[in-house]
Chains A and B, each alone.
Chain A
Amino acid sequence: MSSIDYQLSQLDLLEAESIHIMREVAAEFERPGLLFSGGKDSIVMLRLAEKAFWPAKIPFPLMHVDTGHNFDEVIDFRDRRVNELGARLIVASVEDAIAEGLVVDPTGPRASRNSIQTVPLLKGIIDNKFDAVFGGARRDEEKARAKERVFSFRDEFGQWDPKAQRPELWSLYNGRHRQGEHIRIFPLSNWTELDIWQYIQREELELPSIYYAHRRPVFWRDNMLMAVTDVTPADEGAEVFETEVRYRTVGDMTCTAAVESDADTLDKIIEDVAASRITERGATRADDRASEAAMEDRKREGYF
């Protein structure tokens, strides 16, 4: 940043906006929490939180909704990062919710715990009395998300009402809510997938290894490359083969697919992303393929 040019770069502008949002929340809410999955967006969000409050520690706990079907590399990374920061991590566990009988573990050949995550997520919010919950969602990801506010009101059932959203002007955010209601906060709203990667490169942020190209056994399912794992065995009749892949998004193993890629460095990934003709969710997320409004329907119920 030179002292003559008063125009910030796009990454500096986005960073400044996100930091502003995080400080507003820390100042105006009693008990914020930050959703941290170990995925690239939440890794960026965590760095922004570090910057917003430096040299103090991040003044709120982290929460991870763990389906029990996450990639080992991601869970290892999550725990290491939390230790480095000296942060407090709350795990809202889908396994526990199943054990307590709150939800039923889906069964069948393509069972996924993705949609039942909402139950432990909302339970985690209530148990910890969170009144603000940071999420890493971006507006460029998906069309329902394109219309969501930075401060997104949730009623006592955790529901989102897309038709009754508060207008959001200038940098004045309205966090009013009553006991039992909460606000989801999306500091990365205006970031694109490419911004995220460029920021990771600029800030030299460490990522779980599965974001980089690596060899693993996979099979094709609905034009998506699924890893062969304990919870996603190859479909009957599907050919299993080993190839070089990486992950563009990191979620539950049962609904996250890989892409064929030899991008094993950030430079190559950024080149890949800039040239990609398919959105990250379109390429790799089975959960969004259910219907035209799959994301909206899940969000209405309280999903991320």
Chain B
Amino acid sequence: MELLRLATAGSVDDGKSTLIGRLLYDSKSIFEDQLEAVERTSRDQGAEYTNLALLTDGLRAEREQGITIDVAYRYFATPKRKFIIADTPGHIQYTRNMVTGASTANLTMILVDARNGVIEQSRRHAFLSSLLRVPHVVMLVNKMDLVDYDEAAYQKVADDFRAFAAKLDIPDLTIIPISALQGDNVVHRSENMPWYEGSSLLHHLENIHIGSDQNLIDVRFPVQYVIRPQSDAFHDYRGYAGTVSGGTIKVGDEVMVQPSGLTSRVVGIDLFGEELQEAHPPMSVSVRLADDLDISRGDMLCRPHNHPHATQDLDAMVVWMQQGTRIQEGNRYIIKHTTRTAKTIVKDLQYRLDINDLHRDEKTTSLGLNEIGRLTLRITQPLFVDEYRRNRQTGSFILIDEASGATVAAGMVVDTDV
């Protein structure tokens, strides 16, 4: 069975909870004891209907304040696929949480109220999906029951959204008219909208092709850990353990090691005693080479004529994630990229990007919580990077505050030729 990771985001009244509740309920992924607990709490809070948001708003503060603090992960499965939903709230922490959820997603679901059309929030959702290079986007025109299942109403919203999406980088966009409340086009095709010829949401989620979401061309293998058993049975064993981050590695392939530039040949790919002929993303394996080279954590295996850019200067889009502090020129951080950790200094803040109208504010001197900007970083040692649009693993990094240890920013490499 395949696994699909999806991210959703939205505010309380766009029907997101209802939609997720319906997906979970119709796939029998809500359990009786969970539903009973939610019904009981809803009643205790004086609500007239069962508040499905309570299913995962499990923290005390969330229950007391009726808000969602954080990314919640929910799991459901159909006979065809297993799904992980990263469900992010719509309030002020929204950008930070949606970026987190989208970073690992194959697909994002954007909900729009058919009566209100494409609003600022829908544009933000679309922009962040594009910034994080989520391969598939599904835009749901919800509450179709409230516009009498009118095709023209749907068409207007869909056209508006397509016009905006055309300015972004969204590889695969699908638009579906639904009513989460009534169940139209959620699990089954709706009889109320015969003019809609596409599939239901669930059918789409079950069948969308995700096999090519990974980069299968450029071989990238960041060395995570060196396995040396020092036992009699495996006296000379030396395996380079890691997760394939791009391309397919085959036994017999010639590989190059960064930073040394030395080359060797793959003689074995191991997984717990099983000898594989090849490995592809995101498999975790152990690679043996023909030659005894000096390779350690943080090194990169790639191909002699196809390797990432080794650079100490990065040009990147950065999302600031910490409350109460700002990032500006001259600030120093720890940078974590694949299996390398180094120190970095902000050389230049080029602009702040307004995610509502995509305007570039070049006068800005710092970025605060949930702000996004493009900056240049200087790093203490070379990192082996690809542009994020080519590879989400070798093109991404996080910044860590040295004093507190907090993760303060997420970064995506824009250009490797600084």
Contacts and interface: CB of A to CB of B under 8 A. Distances in A.
A7 B211 contact: yes
Contact of A13 (B73, B282, B336): B282
Contact of A292 (B2, B63, B280, B297): B63
A222 interface: no
A23 B63 contact: no
A296 B60 contact: yes
Contacts of A57: 229, 231
A106 interface: no
Interface stretch (A37-45, A164-172, A239-247): A164-172
A80 B407 CA distance: 41
Interface in A42-90: 50-57
Contacts of B74: 146
B37 to A, nearest CB: 7
A50 B99 CA distance: 33
A55 B100 contact: no
Given A27-B225, A52-B241, A12 B233 contact: no
Nearest to B409: A167
A283 interface: yes
A290 interface: no
B237 to A, nearest CB: 6
B243 interface: yes
B18 interface: no
Interface in B322-381: 334, 336-337, 339
A166 B407 contact: yes
A143 B68 CA distance: 12
Interface string B250-290: 00000000000000000000111100111011111010000
Interface in A125-177: 139-140, 142-144, 146-147, 153, 162-163, 165-172, 174, 176-177
A230 interface: no
A10 B282 CA distance: 12
A8 interface: yes
Interface of B: 1-3, 28, 31-34, 37, 41, 55-61, 63, 69-75, 77, 82, 84, 96-97, 99-100, 103-104, 210-212, 214, 216, 224-225, 227-231, 233-234, 237, 239, 241-243, 248, 270-273, 276-278, 280-284, 286, 297, 321, 334, 336-337, 339, 392-393, 396-398, 400, 405-407, 410
22 contacts: A3-B278, A6-B212, A12-B283, A16-B284, A19-B284, A20-B282, A23-B241, A23-B242, A24-B339, A53-B227, A54-B286, A55-B227, A56-B228, A139-B75, A140-B75, A143-B57, A147-B56, A170-B103, A170-B393, A172-B336, A283-B33, A293-B60
